[in-house]
Amino acid sequence: MNLLLRTLRGRMRRRLLLTYRVDPAVAGGIIPAPFRPQLVDGSAVGGVCLIALTELRPGWVRPRWGISTENAAHRFAVEWDEGGATRTGVYVIERHSSDIVPVVGGGRFFPGIQRRARFVIEETGARFRVGMEASDASVFADVEVTDGWESTLFPTVDDASQFYRAGSIGWSPRRDGRGAEAVELSTTRWVAEAGRVNEVGSSFFDGLPRGAAQIDSALVMRDLPVSWRRPATTCP
């Protein structure tokens, strides 16, 4: 697809990165070729990204004309082979948005098919309660920023942060069903904080075979300038 919008810009008001430890055989049965699960400590890494965006707009438009959206993405960390090297990124299984613009434009004017959803948000200081309900999916997360770090996948919060930063290319199914298309996230200021998961639920991960997916950890990112562009990659 020839993208009409080569670059999107905005401000990441809040981003919750919920990480799941997933059975690699189960993940491998979900992720389409030529991608494969990226393993950490023998497990696949799945997750939900709950992101609040403001000033979202084409790259050439001034911030005041941007829109504000709540968004949810279910995804897996993946690898693929390209030019004799192994690349890393994420494969997004499904995306949901609170605003009609991403729903209409996703997969048409910029990568990523989006479905409409209703979000309920409660934020008090460093605690975030985010709920998403759609006709085909639901998510709920209660996360708060903490000085401690608990994870069976990543020894430190910095390890987790760098893992996600290295996987900045996100693939998702094309609207016409022919393969996948990519978009790359970048920011001039990457800062991630440890999050404590008080409660979490995902219809997608909870719907996998019993024991196949378990919540591992959470990262919180706040108030960062971001942009998305089409990366210099030709795979798949």
What was the pLDDT predicted at 4?
53
- Say if residue 236 is preceded by a cis peptide, omega within 30 of 0: yes
The number of beta carbons lying within 10 Å of the beta carbon of residue 234 is 8
pLDDT in tens, 66-110: 889 999 999 999 999 998 899 999 999 999 999 887 777 676 767
Rounded Cα distance, 2 and 9, in Å = 19
What was the pLDDT predicted at 226?
94
What was the pLDDT predicted at 108?
73
pLDDT in tens, 142-158: 999 999 999 999 999 99
pTM for the whole structure: 0.92
What was the pLDDT predicted at 166?
94
What was the pLDDT predicted at 2?
42
Average pLDDT, integer, range 127-131: 98
Reference 56, options 130, 1, 112, 118; nearest CA is 112
Domains of the chain: 7-229 (2.40.400.10)
Residue 1 has pLDDT above 70, yes or no: no
Residue 235 has pLDDT above 80, yes or no: no
Average pLDDT, integer, range 195-207: 98
Residue 18 has pLDDT above 80, yes or no: yes
What was the pLDDT predicted at 113?
80
pLDDT range class, residue 236, cuts 50, 70, 90: low
| Range name among 35-49, 127-141, 165-179 with the lowest pLDDT average | 165-179
pLDDT range class, residue 27, cuts 50, 70, 90: very high
